[in-house]
């Protein structure tokens, strides 16, 4: 009981502290703050005289099944407020617990407040503008379009309707409700005069249909948009908001985290600057960044939609970096590492639908490299319709991406999902690799055309081997391919065991796995990236592909394969602590899996550095920078921090090993977390003090056994369905 009180008190404090706040309007997009309902998102700048709301809808894509295209910005909602004088008491904030953005300031003796959210239940964005004196709102509201839509203002509404070159039809409509004063159309704009308050509703959608069978097209979105706006306009603001809060919090509040005191009294840019100097003073910033990753997942990936792309759903550019697409040699997978362990399994679903569609299209569109007709091969860069960039195929990508289906089963225990979706997807890829592997020089099975993203050893004129960025010369037996295939085989074997089917084929795959060329330790004690021992200890390449076996694989583990784990630390130390945003995020995961919490935290500190120059870091809005902004670093960092607190990727004696606080850094001296998930269907709460676990609660909705390791000791626990266990 003694322990419960401080835990509860700490958690209620932590809930209040979860907001990003600023004392100035955003000067640019990287300072603006994101809202989103999974599909419909906006970046809010919060200007006093001019509010700029740049918005997106996740299906506005050029391209098709063959041509890549790019994710497109939709348009902007612009409000010009006339009124005199300078403003004071300015504050804007994004409350993660509410998924509500707020602006407030005083101008000309009037205090103005704004609230904004993107509602998943109502499928519209809602912006409320109010003032503490009647009739204080006057100005102009405009809707812009990034393509060539025709824009018309009628009554209290503006619509933009257009069509992209690939035939995709789209529409955005804004509808204004007001108290007091008047709202009138004026050309393409609405004029607001002497209103007490405004509620601006924005809906945007396209004729995209997430189905290859329907050739990716559905009806024009006009009717849907009208229906959504009509319903939202008839609903009181407070009801729209309370429905939004309930929907968001049902997901967001499943995990609560407290990593120590936070300097919440300061705006984010000041916190970031101070954190650089003394991170120990603000572990609350780590917790904020952690929950921001979960917030962004909820805001950019909901069932029925598309998965979060390279920028989630937030993009202002007609030609975004890497098309703002789905890149398969780290980025799209990293986006979803956090989904299961941080209790957002629903948000994982769009990824599975996309993967299924991608496989369908790839199989249909004559795969260049599959002689047997079994399995499929992804390209490095893909769009939502299975189209790809010309950069090239990524042979083990399908196996890596399919790991997530097995992971989902391991966390949630849904046998139907395992049987209907995961197992067939794993099996066809196992069959593909069975036909593709060849015998290497030592009789082991190797991939004949391996690769290590995204460089390779090339012999120079002087006969010396150098590593060349972007080189794609086939490298038989490259560790990346070998480790991914090992992981695929292991997942398949475990899935067949779990379902009790295909015993003969399962045994065959066990034998194949035993013949696979495994990780090799090279001459400077490193894990070899290639079959030949040619690694350069000065190689700082951002990808650390040859440590896939550490994370997200499970072939190397400090307890079961200590020598390989030691070699992995040698490789990782040589690669260094820097890199692009996602590279740093991956390194947090690696160090956590190698049980070095302080090193993991050192990488996190580097990641939380204000972005400058060409390397990673974060922007003032805490978007992670490649640069430019790439959301994988946000999601990957949250996943990595979770790995520092809880791991469950390996098994002991056939049952899941749940490791409590496996990589707790000194910087998180005392804290707590509730609602994390572990494989085997467990939910876990943890509390610690002075670096030592003080309490752990395990819940098991379906019942089950696990080996639980904490503070160097391991014991087997068994819970009945619905059971709870408290340790110590």
The binding site for ligand FUC (CB under 6 A) comprises 310, 322, 327, 329, 331, 454, 542, 580, 582, 626, 630
Q: Are 541 and 571 in contact (CB under 8 A)?
A: no
Measure the CA–CA gap between 82 and 140, rounded to whole angstroms.
8
Residue 324 DSSP symbol: G
> At a CB cut-off of 8 Å and minimum separation 6, what does 635 contact?
293, 296, 297, 308, 334, 335, 336, 337, 338, 585
Q: Which two tokens stand for residue 115?
A: 């609230």
Name the residue among 657, 660, 682 with its Cα closest to residue 728: 660
* Nearest-approach distance from CB 480 to ligand FUC, in angstroms: 13
* Burial class of 623 by CB neighbour count within 10 A (0 to 12, 13 to 18, 19+): buried
Phi and psi for 622 in degrees, rounded to 5? 65, 15
Q: Which residues pair with 394 in a beta bridge?
A: 378
Q: Which is nearer to ligand FUC, 252 or 323 (CB)?
A: 323
Q: Are 621 and 631 in contact (CB under 8 A)?
A: no
Residue 526 DSSP symbol: P
Measure the CA–CA gap between 5 and 10, rounded to whole angstroms.
9
Q: Which is nearer to ligand FUC, 392 or 441 (CB)?
A: 392
Angle between helix 581-593 and helix 562-575 axes, rounded to 10 deg = 150
Q: Which is nearer to ligand FUC, 322 or 668 (CB)?
A: 322
Q: Are 145 and 157 in contact (CB under 8 A)?
A: no
Q: How far is CA 20 from the centre of its chain?
A: 19
Q: Which is nearer to ligand FUC, 340 or 454 (CB)?
A: 454
Q: Which is nearer to ligand FUC, 624 or 683 (CB)?
A: 624
* Nearest-approach distance from CB 628 to ligand FUC, in angstroms: 10
* Nearest-approach distance from CB 139 to ligand FUC, in angstroms: 40
* Nearest-approach distance from CB 510 to ligand FUC, in angstroms: 33
* Nearest-approach distance from CB 624 to ligand FUC, in angstroms: 11
Judged by phi (left if over 0) then psi (alpha if -120 to 50, else beta), residue 123 lies in left
Q: Which is nearer to ligand FUC, 293 or 616 (CB)?
A: 616
- In the three-class reduction of DSSP (H, G, I as helix; E, B as strand; rest coil), residue 674 is classed as strand
Q: Which is nearer to ligand FUC, 172 or 329 (CB)?
A: 329
Q: Which two tokens stand for residue 553?
A: 């694989």
Name the residue among 348, 356, 417 with its Cα closest to residue 386: 356
* Nearest-approach distance from CB 66 to ligand FUC, in angstroms: 21
* Nearest-approach distance from CB 6 to ligand FUC, in angstroms: 42
The H or E element spanning position 298 is helix 283-300
Q: Which two tokens stand for residue 612?
A: 């400058």
* Nearest-approach distance from CB 391 to ligand FUC, in angstroms: 8
Q: Which is nearer to ligand FUC, 329 or 479 (CB)?
A: 329
Q: Which is nearer to ligand FUC, 296 or 644 (CB)?
A: 296
Q: Are 33 and 92 in contact (CB under 8 A)?
A: yes
**CA-CA distances (angstroms) from residue 547 to 519, 531, 686?**
9, 14, 29
* Nearest-approach distance from CB 325 to ligand FUC, in angstroms: 8
Measure the CA–CA gap between 75 and 78, rounded to whole angstroms.
10
Rounded to 5 degrees, what angle do the CA atoms 505, 506, 511 make? Answer: 95
* Nearest-approach distance from CB 329 to ligand FUC, in angstroms: 6
Q: Are 622 and 581 in contact (CB under 8 A)?
A: no
Give the helix ranges, DSSP H, for 437-539. Answer: 479-499, 503-515
Q: Which is nearer to ligand FUC, 157 or 580 (CB)?
A: 580
Give the helix ranges, DSSP H, for 111-258. Answer: 222-233, 237-252
Q: Which is nearer to ligand FUC, 590 or 682 (CB)?
A: 590
Name the residue among 47, 623, 572 with its Cα closest to residue 296: 623
* Nearest-approach distance from CB 487 to ligand FUC, in angstroms: 20
* Nearest-approach distance from CB 425 to ligand FUC, in angstroms: 23
Q: Which two tokens stand for residue 341?
A: 């362990």
* Nearest-approach distance from CB 36 to ligand FUC, in angstroms: 21
* Nearest-approach distance from CB 394 to ligand FUC, in angstroms: 9
């Amino acid at each position: 009981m003694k322990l419960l009180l401080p835990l509860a008190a700490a958690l209620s404090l932590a809930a209040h502290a979860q907001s990003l706040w600023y004392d100035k309007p955003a000067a640019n997009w990287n300072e603006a703050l994101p809202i989103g309902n999974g599909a419909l998102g906006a970046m809010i700048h919060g200007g006093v005289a001019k509010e700029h709301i740049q918005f997106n809808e996740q299906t506005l894509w050029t391209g098709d099944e063959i041509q890549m295209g790019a994710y497109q910005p939709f348009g902007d909602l612009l409000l010009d407020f006339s009124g005199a004088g300078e403003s004071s008491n300015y504050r804007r904030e994004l409350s993660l617990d509410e998924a509500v953005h707020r602006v407030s300031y005083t101008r000309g003796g009037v205090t103005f407040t704004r609230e904004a959210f993107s509602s998943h239940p109502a499928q519209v964005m809602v912006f409320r503008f109010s003032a503490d004196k009647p009739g204080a709102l006057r100005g102009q509201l405009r809707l812009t379009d990034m393509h060539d839509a025709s824009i018309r203002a009628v009554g209290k509404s503006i619509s933009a309707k257009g069509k992209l070159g690939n035939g995709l039809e789209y529409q955005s409509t804004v509808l204004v409700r007001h108290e007091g004063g008047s709202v009138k159309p004026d050309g393409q704009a609405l004029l607001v005069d002497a209103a007490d308050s405004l509620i601006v509703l924005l809906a945007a959608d396209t004729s995209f249909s997430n189905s290859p069978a329907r050739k990716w097209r559905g009806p024009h979105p006009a009717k849907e948009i009208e229906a959504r706006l009509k319903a939202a306009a008839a609903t009181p603001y407070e009801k729209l908001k309370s429905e939004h809060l309930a929907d968001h919090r049902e997901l967001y509040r499943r995990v609560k985290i407290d990593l120590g005191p936070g300097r919440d009294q300061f705006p984010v840019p000041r916190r970031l600057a101070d954190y650089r100097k003394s991170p120990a003073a603000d572990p609350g910033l780590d917790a904020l960044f952690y929950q921001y990753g979960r917030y962004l997942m909820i805001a950019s990936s909901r069932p029925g939609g598309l998965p979060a792309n390279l920028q989630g759903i937030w993009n202002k550019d007609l030609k975004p970096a890497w098309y703002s697409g789905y890149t398969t040699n780290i980025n799209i997978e990293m986006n979803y590492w956090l989904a299961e362990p941080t209790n957002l399994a629903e948000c994982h679903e769009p990824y599975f639908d996309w993967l299924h569609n991608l496989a369908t299209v790839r199989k249909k569109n004559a795969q260049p490299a599959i002689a047997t007709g079994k399995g499929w091969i992804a390209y490095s860069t893909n769009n939502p319709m299975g189209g790809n960039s010309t950069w090239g195929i990524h042979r083990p990508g399908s196996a890596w991406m399919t790991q997530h289906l097995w992971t989902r089963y391991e966390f949630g225990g849904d046998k139907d999902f395992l049987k209907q979706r995961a197992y067939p997807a794993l099996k066809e890829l196992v069959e593909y690799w069975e036909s593709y592997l060849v015998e290497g020089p030592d009789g082991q099975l190797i991939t004949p055309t391996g690769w290590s993203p995204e460089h390779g050893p090339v012999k120079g004129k002087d006969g010396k081997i150098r590593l060349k960025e972007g080189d794609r010369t086939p490298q038989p037996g490259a560790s990346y391919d070998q480790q991914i295939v090992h992981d695929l085989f292991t997942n398949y074997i475990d899935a067949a065991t779990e379902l009790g089917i295909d015993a003969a084929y399962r045994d065959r795959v066990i034998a194949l796995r035993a013949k696979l060329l495994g990780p090799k330790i090279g001459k400077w004690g490193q894990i070899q990236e290639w079959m030949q021992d040619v690694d350069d200890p000065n190689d700082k390449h951002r990808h650390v592909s040859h440590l896939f076996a550490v994370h997200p694989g499970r072939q190397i583990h400090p307890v079961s394969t200590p020598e390989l784990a030691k070699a992995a630390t040698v490789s990782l130390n040589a690669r260094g602590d820097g890199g692009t945003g996602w590279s740093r995020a991956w390194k947090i995961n690696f160090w956590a899996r190698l049980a070095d919490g302080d090193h993991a935290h050192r990488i996190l500190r580097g990641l939380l550095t204000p972005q400058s120059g060409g390397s990673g870091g974060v922007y003032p809005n805490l978007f992670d920078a490649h640069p430019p902004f790439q959301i994988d670093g946000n999601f990957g960092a949250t996943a990595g921090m979770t790995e520092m607190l809880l791991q469950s990727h390996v098994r002991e004696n056939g049952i899941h090993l749940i490791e409590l606080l496996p990589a707790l850094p000194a910087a998180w001296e005392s804290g707590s977390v509730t609602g994390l998930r572990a494989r085997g269907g467990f939910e876990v709460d943890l509390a610690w003090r002075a670096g030592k676990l003080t309490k752990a609660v395990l819940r098991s909705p379906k019942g089950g056994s696990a080996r639980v390791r904490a503070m160097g000791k391991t014991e087997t626990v068994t819970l009945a369905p619905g059971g709870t266990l408290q340790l110590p």
